[in-house]
Amino acid sequence: MKTKKIYLLRHGQTDYNLKGIVQGSGVDTDLNETGQNQAKAFYNSYKNVPFDKIYISALKRTKQSVQPFIDLGVPYEILKGLNEINWGNKDGQMISVDENTQYWQLVKGWNSGDFGLKMEGGESPSEVEKRLLEAWNHIISNEKEENILICMHGRAMRILLASILHNDLRKMETFEHHNLGLYILTYSQDTGLVIEKSNCKEHLKNLFC
């Protein structure tokens, strides 16, 4: 297998991000003006990369973040396995002080290794990890695709990176994720996965975000 270069991108900003509203897989929001500008800035910085394929979640904020590349004719595939975690009855709700406390209690449980914990009606990290790994294995199985662009979501990115790099979901919180922040990884059977860039925001330096 040839070495693959994987550009792993979080979607651009939405009004829910800006307002502090819970935004999981149960919420399908559009990019706001800042998010659209972030997408344009990323495109301008990486438009010369010969992407073989784009993979996005089933939520439109990911497609909107890479739309300029799709408009160029780069083939893309929607994978529901890349969707954000489902926050259950908290999806679409403003984050109150009590809910913020509940969230950090949940994260504390995850950090201690209880990956079955979840919001009422939502998904646990273990459940999300299972579908993410199915999507990941599908993506890396195509030997002809050498330059790959993946656009997904913050918590899902944390789960995926902790799983594929450390096989330990307790590492989730170590992976920061700015809107339109970029991780670049290389993958081969000989070397495995290697991170080249982490949460890179150089392409956004001229934006107020």
CA gap 139, 133 in Å, rounded? 10
Nearest to 125 by CA among 136, 140, 139, 114: 114
Closest CA to 24 of 54, 56, 58: 58
Sign of the four-CA dihedral 129, 135, 141, 142: negative
Could you tell me which residues come within 8 angstroms of residue 134 by beta carbon, excluding any fewer than 6 positions away? Answer: 81
Dist CA 81 CA 156 (whole Å): 10
CA 4 vs. chain centroid, Å, equals 18
Is 178 annotated as ligand-binding? no
Ligand-binding annotation for 12, yes or no, is yes
* Residue 81: both structure tokens together: 């396995």
Instruction: Determine the Cα–Cα distance for residues 20 and 29; give it in Å rounded to an integer.
Output: 13
174 labelled ligand-binding = no
Residue 131 is assigned to a ligand binding site? no
| Cβ atoms of residues 110 and 117 within 8 Å | yes
Q: Is 61 labeled as ligand-binding?
A: yes
Q: Annotated binding site: which residue ranges?
A: 10-17, 61
Q: Annotated binding site for substrate: which residue ranges?
A: 10-17, 61
